[in-house]
Structure 1
């Protein structure tokens, strides 16, 4: 379902970012409800972090979905991600793209800033993503 409170754009003159799982611009209408979700890590409520990056990525997105649903929001309401990845490389990039393509099969990806980092808050934490979403 399309959220009329914002628009995702990739203007001519900029390269096509869709193969990398993000968009260049998200424009939000001023009367919209904005929801900010703090950085979600790759552990469930048990606090256990897998050594497997892909497992952590899947848990991060599960956690974000729980937060979105708690506000009555869907993945289609997400306008901005900030993604922090420890020891970032091409294989991790491909995992993130594959997950993004499953979540946004219409390729209307949110804006995303990916930042390689040397470590995160907890030992063994390999990824953290914060989210901005716009309510209907």
Structure 2
């Protein structure tokens, strides 16, 4: 059996230990990133939704960097939203900053009713560059 090859950002937040999961798992040249939320370092959610989304993207960026990746290496995105219709503008703003031009990664958005106290979560699959 192949052992998991976990990846954690330099400033890992408390949620990884609290809920017993890895920020990401490296498998060959692929990186499978766990859902990132807009958490502060103590694991608490940012109260303002727009700030929470931006923090989720910042947390995702930190995980990608720890694996030698950037947003350009992302091939697939799944986002989870507690109120998709009303949250869409804030998410699209952050998405536009992370992915300013085509080609864009594939993207699936899912409406949910619970995210452990958060209102937005983003998980991705990225290809690790050969130089990483």
TM score, norm. by length of structure 1: 0.70
Quick one: distance in 2 between partners of 1:107 and 1:33?
22
How far apart are residue 88 of structure 1 and its match?
A: 1.6
Cα RMSD after superposing both structures: 1.3
**Does 2:127 align with 1:134?**
yes
Aligned to 1:19: none
Quick one: distance in 1 between partners of 2:64 and 2:41?
17
**Does 2:97 align with 1:102?**
yes
- The answer to whether the 8 Å contact 1:101/1:107 transfers is no
Quick one: distance in 1 between partners of 2:103 and 2:90?
18
* Secondary structure in 2 matching 1:66: helix
**Does 2:2 align with 1:34?**
no
Deviation >3 Å, runs of 4+ = none
Structure 1 unaligned regions, length at least 5: 1-31
TM score, norm. by length of structure 2: 0.72
Query: Aligned ranges for residues 1-136 of structure 1 at < 5 Å?
Result: 33-89=29-85, 91-120=86-115, 122-123=116-117, 125-136=118-129
Quick one: distance in 1 between partners of 2:94 and 2:102?
12
How far apart are residue 135 of structure 1 and its match?
A: 1.3
Aligned to 2:18: none
Higher RCO (Cα < 8 Å, 6 or more apart): 1
How many residues align structurally?
102
* Secondary structure in 2 matching 1:37: strand
